[in-house]
Amino acid sequence: MRVAILPDEAAIGRIGADAVERLYARKPQAVLGLATGSSPLPIYQELIARHRAGRISFARGRAFALDEYVGLSPQHPQSYRQVIRTSIADHVDFPEGAVRGPEGWAEDLDAAAADYDRAIRDAGGVDLQILGIGADGHIAFNEPGGSLASRTHRGFLTAQTIRDNARFFDGDISQVPAQCLTQGIATIMEARSLVLVATGGNKAEAVRQMVEGAVSASWPATVLQFHPDALVLVDEEAAARLDRTDYYREIWDIERN
């Protein structure tokens, strides 16, 4: 796991977009994994700017979203299908139908989960997965206490996650769905590269556990320690509880130079 402690979200966006741009330069048909929430937005904004400048094209690419709420229509503005569209997909040149997400509105949710996992494998797997992290250490909607070997599945949001996500529903907790379809930990770990973004002091303990803590289902993101190519992009506040910041800064400087 490589850790980059960066000064602000703009720097995070540039470094994350660099990784995506390098991927598409060497593999124009690459499969990108897309996360929702506020964490990946600086990367998406930078990718949109680079696409408009002619630096990167997604015209031969495909993408898979991490998760979707259960119970929202695909047209709901807070469905992750819509969020992915408005955050990035509608602003670049992915072909029609090239960006997929789990179908949280399906009649048979378990079958929909299995079909989604199969679709990712049939596409050749995700080349680069963008991730955020919850304050309780969840990635996608894999909450603390869940299986570290899970595949795409129906999940349940904890009270903490519902409170955190209420900001996207005008602060109304009652409007936040309690269930989801989400890629599982094992599904995420099969991506060839991971780029995880965390900003703000409320993520500091989760970042500390993820990077320096023992691997445990109590902090699902700790399993990323086992990934062979995981890059963690954090600002100073999110890095505040790390013990080995001098080491991370030194290694990052060597890598960048």
The phi, psi pair for 15, rounded to 5°, reads: -65, -45
Nearest to 128 by CA among 192, 186, 65, 199: 192
CB 196 within 8 A of CB 133: yes
What pLDDT shows up at residue 164? 86
Per the CB < 8 A criterion, the answer to whether 197 and 230 are in contact is no
Question: Which tokens hold the place of 32?
Answer: 């990108």
- DSSP conformational letter for 49: H
> For residue 249, what pLDDT is reported?
97
Catalytic (active-site) positions: 67, 136, 138, 143
**Per-residue tokens: 97:** 């139908």
- pLDDT value for 158: 87
d(CA 107, CA 96): 24
pLDDT at 256: 86
- Which residue shows structure tokens 């930990």? 185
CB atoms within 10 A of CB 97: 7
Q: What is the CATH number of domain 2-256?
A: 3.40.50.1360
pLDDT in tens, the chain (257 residues): 999 999 999 999 999 999 999 999 999 999 999 999 899 999 999 999 999 999 999 999 999 999 999 999 999 999 999 999 999 999 999 999 999 999 999 999 999 999 999 999 999 999 999 999 999 999 999 999 999 999 999 999 888 889 988 998 999 999 999 999 999 999 999 999 999 999 999 999 999 999 999 999 999 999 999 999 999 999 999 999 999 999 999 999 998 88
Which two tokens mark 142?
């894999």
Q: What is the pLDDT of residue 251?
A: 96
